[in-house]
Amino acid sequence: MPDNRFEPRIVAFLCNWCTYTGADLAGTSRLQYPPNVRIIRLMCSGAVDSSYVLKPLLDGADGVLIGGCHPGDCHYQEGNYKARRRIAILEETLKAMGFEGDRVMLRWISASEGGKFAETIKEFTEKMRAKGPAPTKQLWAL
Amino acid sequence: MNGLFPVENNNVRLAVSALLTKVLQSGLVDALLVPLRNPAGDAVTPALVKNPALLAEADPLAPVLPVNGARLASLLTQHSPRPRLGVVMRSCEIRALVELVKLQQASLEGMTLVGVDCTGTYEVPDYAKIAKGTDAATLALRPACEMCEYPAPAVANADIVIQQIGVDNSTALHVEAKGGWPELLGLTETPPNGRADALGKLVTQRSAKRDAVFAEMQAQVNSPEKLAAMFSTCIRCHNCMTNCPICYCKTCFFKTNIFDHEPMQFMAWAERKGATRMPADTVLFHLTRMNHMSTSCIGCGLCTSACPVDINVGAAFRTVAAKTQAVFNYVAGRSVDDPIPVKNFEVNELQQLGER
């Protein structure tokens, strides 16, 4: 990075059929987006357990993104509905236990929405940059 | 029907024993799951009873909760063949059982549920002292009981309810029963009494305490640092999870080799933050458990009672549970017909999540 400004570290759990493919489309379309994101591919957003989101947050990630198919379009029919409920529960848990709820983002991005993927990464990276480094980066005693 | 059951010599406990003997001998149950006085004299522990003579030692009104009976009822009904059980439990145990039924870990098939009013319980070692003569007034109720707003079992979920709150049982035991039970027990009908008022007052008092605990928790745990501080003394014994009636996983994934990380993985974490607490992932354990079971938390507080380092786990979990259950307008333990949040979804709900 050229200057000393804070570079957020985003971890993204993307569903294979929609969002990961959409990210791939962003790549083949040569759309630019910030390199701050580390992508982890799963077969479905419904396979995301809350602990997968909590671990990076506790380890010091500045933001965690979960990407899935739009409701109604899940490759496995219902996975994204379950993901939606789990993220709703996760957001309440985080807020109640002293975390900033907006370091977790759920977004539906389809395989054809390469542009939306790039925009989402840009948007999330800048939001996390504005928020500053996650307080968990300094906490070894978690 | 509200009714009375005879009490002799002002001995309420033996009147309860006599009532339970009628249940066991009714032909409708094969055995009773009921707290019995332990022969050692300092404990009351649940037992699966077949011999009615042993019901002379029954003491379901004893103010102690060593284990959540729902866990035991689950063991006894989780698959066929199963006995027709009579189960004698207080409200938090019944509510936990309702959740376990919805999680397919227990069955109400053929079960006769006898609920008892509960005015609160003492920690197991404190009850041992009370049983040996210490004045209960010098000891405190378990923290979970002080904020429990469900001291009476919901009649919808029980066949028989033995009342204590707002009634004087010294000459006759106040019982509410439905179906064929009033006749089988030989209850004399009695008009409703001061119980509703007394119950209302107790619930108001307990709800205020609950709200105060929630407010204090929210004020105190307002950063990840404060959250870490709450679990600074956690020794990862997992007693909280083991004693939780809702945590039914035969093997918690925190006990699997997923968490036997490679040595160099620990080194990488230590490198990143300068140090890593060992064993690692303590706050992760508690937050994950909150996410997995808080929508079914019924607030029995056995997590706090079981913690060897006095962390008020139950206060934190109930605070989170109130929030996570509210997302779905769900009240854990209220009814077997309420769809449990972790197993259901609606196509059109939470529409603000996931959209730009």
Cis peptide before B279 (omega within 30 of 0): yes
So what's the pLDDT on residue B275? 97
Instruction: Choose the mutation target among A52, A92, A110, A123 for the interface with B, i.e. most B CBs under 10 Å.
Output: A92
The answer to whether position B354 is within a domain reads no
B232 close to A (CB below 8 A): yes
Percent of chain A with pLDDT over 90: 96
CB burial of A30-63 (b: ≥16 within 10 Å; e: otherwise) equals ebebbebbebeebebbbbbbbbbbbbbbbbbbbb
- Region at B311 (left for phi over 0; alpha for psi -120 to 50; beta for the rest): beta
Could you tell me if B156 and B184 lie in one domain? yes
**Under 8 Å between Cβ of B273 and A60:** yes
Whether B228 and A71 lie within 8 Å, measured CB to CB: no
In this complex, which of A68, A71, A106 lies closest to B347 when CB atoms are compared? A71
Cβ distance A85 to B350 less than 8 Å, yes or no, reads: yes
From A122, A16, A49, A119, select the one nearest B291 (Cα to Cα).
Answer: A49
Region B325-341 average pLDDT? 97
Distance from CA of B348 to the nearest CA of A (A): 9
Would you say how long chain B is, in residues?
A: 356
B86 and B216: one domain? Answer: no
Residues B122 and B259 grouped into a single domain: no
For residue B207, being part of any structural domain is answered with no
Mean pLDDT of B255-280: 96
Q: Are residue B72 and residue B191 in the same domain, yes or no?
A: yes
Instruction: Judge whether B122 lies within some domain.
Output: yes
**Under 8 Å between Cβ of B143 and B288:** no
A1: which 2 tokens? 């990075």
Q: CB contact, 8 Å: A102 with chain B?
A: no
pLDDT of residue B204: 98
Assembly ipTM: 0.96
Does any CB of chain A come closer than 8 Å to the CB of residue B281?
yes
Is B316 in the same domain as B178? no
Is B268 within a domain?
A: yes
Average pLDDT over residues B123-147: 97
Q: Which domains does chain A have, with CATH numbers?
A: 10-134 (3.40.50.960)
pLDDT at res. B293: 97
Beta-carbon contacts of residue B337 (< 8 Å; ≥ 6 apart) = none
- Asked if residue A1 has pLDDT above 70, the reply is no
Same structural domain, B181 and B256: no
B301 assigned to some structural domain:
yes
Same domain, B170 and B222: no
| Per-residue model confidence as pLDDT tens digits over A92-139 | 999 999 999 899 999 999 999 999 999 999 999 999 999 999 999 999
Q: From A35, A30, A33, A32, select the one nearest A10 (Cα to Cα).
A: A35
Q: Which residue among B201, B230, B251 closes a domain?
A: B201
pTM of the model: 0.96
pLDDT at res. A60:
97
| B289 DSSP assignment | H
Instruction: Determine contact: B337 vs chain A, CB below 8 A.
Output: no
Q: A121 CA to chain B: closest CA distance, Å?
A: 12
| Assigned domain for B351 exists | no
Would you report the helix, strand and coil content of chain B in percent, each value rounded to 5? 45, 10, 45
CA distance A28 to chain B (A): 23
* A85 CB within 8 Å of a chain B CB: yes
HEC sequence for chain A: CCCCCCCCCEEEEEECCCHHHHHHHHHHCCCCCCCCEEEEEECCHHHCCHHHHHHHHHHCCCEEEEEECCCCCCCCCCHHHHHHHHHHHHHHHHHHCCCCHHHEEEEECCCCCHHHHHHHHHHHHHHHHHHCCCHHHHCCCC
CA B181 – CA B86 distance, rounded (Å): 13
Q: Is B260 on the interface with A (CB under 8 A)?
A: no
Q: State how many domains chain B has.
A: 2
Element (H, E) at B268: helix B263-273
Average confidence score pLDDT of chain B: 96
Residues linked to residue A42 through DSSP beta bridges, in sequence order: A15
Q: Indicate whether B129 and B166 sit together in one domain.
A: yes
On chain B, the residues whose CB falls within 8 A of the CB of A142 are 224, 228, 277, 281-284
* B149 and B243 together in one domain: no
In angstroms, rounded to a whole number, what is the distance separating the alpha carbons of residues B1 and A141? 57
pLDDT over threshold 60, residue B219: yes
For residues B50 and B172, membership in a common domain is answered with yes
**Which of A50, A60, A81 faces B272 most closely, judged by CB atoms?**
A60
pLDDT at residue number A2: 58
In a domain, B353, yes or no: no
Whether residues B345 and A81 touch (CB distance < 8 A) is answered with yes
Query: Residues B77, B328, B291, A70: is their CA dihedral positive or negative?
Result: positive
**What would the mean pLDDT of B82-90 be, rounded to a whole number?**
97
For residue B343, what are the CA distances in angstroms to B91, B104, B106, B185, B346?
24, 11, 16, 39, 11
Please work out, in degrees rounded to the nearest 5, the angle formed at the alpha carbon of residue B280 by the alpha carbons of B253 and B283.
75
Q: Which amino acid is at B91?
A: S
Q: How far apart are CA A60 and CA B283, in angstroms?
A: 13
Which one is predicted more confidently, A2 or B212? B212
Q: Is the pLDDT of residue A68 over 80?
A: yes
Smallest CA–CA distance from B232 into chain A, residue: A141
B249 touches A36 (CB < 8 A): no
Chain A to chain B, count of Cβ pairs less than 8 Å apart?
125
**CA trace torsion B9, B13, B18, B24 (10° rounding):** 180
Does the distance separating the beta carbons of A55 and B218 come in below 8 Å? no
Using a CB-CB cut-off of 8 Å, the residues of chain B touching A88 are 327, 350, 353
Q: Which domain holds residue B227?
A: 212-343
User: Is B209 touching A (CB cutoff 8 A)?
Assistant: no
DSSP B122: B
pLDDT number for residue B91:
97
Task: Answer yes or no: do B173 and B265 share one domain.
Answer: no
B132 interface with A at CB cutoff 8 Å: no
Given B177, B201, B225, the domain boundary residue is B201
Q: Is B259 on the interface with A (CB under 8 A)?
A: no
Place of tokens 């996570």: B324
Q: Would you say residue B88 lies in a domain? A: yes
Q: Please name which of B325, B321, B316, B331 lies closest in space to residue B283, comparing C-alpha atoms.
A: B316
Residue B356 predicted with pLDDT over 80: no
Structure tokens at B342: 């972790």
Tens-digit pLDDT profile for residues A41-64? 999 999 999 999 999 999 999 999
Q: Which residues contact A26 (CB under 8 A, 6 or more apart)?
A: A33, A114, A115, A117, A118
A96 and chain B: CB distance < 8 Å anywhere? yes
Question: What would the two tokens of residue B136 be?
Answer: 């209960």
- Quickly count: other Cβ atoms within 10 Å of residue B146's Cβ: 16
Mean pLDDT value of segment B234-252: 97
Identify whether residues B33 and B166 lie together within a single domain. yes
